[in-house]
Amino acid sequence: MSYTYAQLKTAIQDYTENTETSFVTNLPTFIKNAEQRIFKLVDLEVFRKNATSTLSQNDPYLSVPTDYLASFSFSVTSSSVKTFLLQKDVNYLQEYTPNPATTGLPKYYAFFDIDNFIVAPTPDSNYAVELHYYYRPASLTAGADSGNTWLSENAPNAMLYGSLVEAYTYMKGEQDLMVVYEKQFQEALSRIKDLAEARENSDAYRRGLPERPRT
């Protein structure tokens, strides 16, 4: 089973038995909110990509990609040697290098604000950067009614029940139903996580890489 955009909107209306104009107008919001919950709760390898940039000497800041969701790895290259930075809280970086004039090969990075990373220590030279990260793909709502996405094809239950939780929250619907739909959403998420881990471990085995520890 999978959903096109039109089919998912129809399913939400069928489950809620609601075709009121303001409710229908908010269907895209319900779907987008469900997508965002999924992306926040599950790291999917299919939504991972690389970006390259340069850290400039004496400048500890680097722009965050506009579609960034979460980091997989962040590295700098010096004399053909790649060093992976550890992600920390910005307060940790400020304690590690209280004087921003202190320079060296960066060891840590953090979010400085919504648009920028900060590294520590401040770069003592120009360094090539490679950021491997999970990105936010285009929403199902951004396409045509006949369109679909990876989530609508591979995680239709998560899309449906996540959207229904959002819809019933908007409607101030029956609490019992919201509990049921949230439970089904969480069960669908568990299946996505199992699928993602199985694929990642299989890929790691084929590439001769160690499995990532589960948390």
**Domain end (from 135, 166, 196):** 135
- Separation CA 188–CA 159 (nearest Å): 9
**Shared domain check, 38 and 144:** yes
**Domain end (from 108, 135, 162):** 135
Provide the 3-class DSSP secondary structure of residue 81: strand
Tally of domains within the chain: 2
What pLDDT was estimated at residue 43? 85
- Other CB atoms within 10 Å distance of the CB of residue 124: 14
- Separation CA 215–CA 198 (nearest Å): 15
Task: Establish whether the linkage from the previous residue to 121 is cis, with ω within 30° of 0.
Answer: yes
**Domain end (from 109, 135, 161):** 135
Task: Please choose, from the candidates 195, 114, 100, 124, the residue with its C-alpha nearest in 3D space to the C-alpha of residue 157.
Answer: 195
Task: Please choose, from the candidates 37, 12, 7, 36, the residue with its C-alpha nearest in 3D space to the C-alpha of residue 23.
Answer: 12
> What average pLDDT values come out for the chain (215 residues) when binned by 10 residues?
96 97 98 96 90 97 95 95 96 93 96 96 97 95 96 95 97 93 96 71 44 39
Report the predicted TM-score, pTM, of the whole model to 2 decimal places.
0.78
